Amino acid sequence: MLRGGRVVSQEQAEKLAGQLGMPYIEASAKTGQNVMEAFELLTRRVYQGLLSGEVELQEGWDGKKKCCD
């Protein structure tokens, strides 16, 4: 459990997200603030990536366990 505030500043987090080409959203598991929004944003980005071909599902992501290939 974190005590005493932030470890990474908002500015640092936004900069890293920008460098990685990722969206930035502040969320708190403690208060629930923006948690749903973060998952919705992630889900939309993955879905858009699948539609555009930027993201491809790999074998074994169909919910079935694979063993010993």
pLDDT digits (tens, 9 = 90+) for 30-56: 899 999 999 999 999 999 999 999 988
Examine residue 15 and state whether it is found in any structural domain, yes or no. Answer: no
Contact present, 46 and 55 (Cβ < 8 Å): yes
Examine residue 10 and state whether it is found in any structural domain, yes or no. Answer: no
Share of the chain above pLDDT 70, in %: 80
Examine residue 42 and state whether it is found in any structural domain, yes or no. Answer: yes
Examine residue 43 and state whether it is found in any structural domain, yes or no. Answer: yes
- Token duo for residue 54: 């930027």
Examine residue 33 and state whether it is found in any structural domain, yes or no. Answer: yes
Q: What pLDDT, on the 0 to 100 scale, is given for residue 24?
A: 94
The count of domains in the chain is: 1
Domain hosting residue 49, numbered range: 29-54
Q: What is this structure's pTM?
A: 0.65
Q: What pLDDT, on the 0 to 100 scale, is given for residue 65?
A: 63
Examine residue 13 and state whether it is found in any structural domain, yes or no. Answer: no
* Ranges of H-type helices in 1-69: 10-20, 35-52
Examine residue 63 and state whether it is found in any structural domain, yes or no. Answer: no
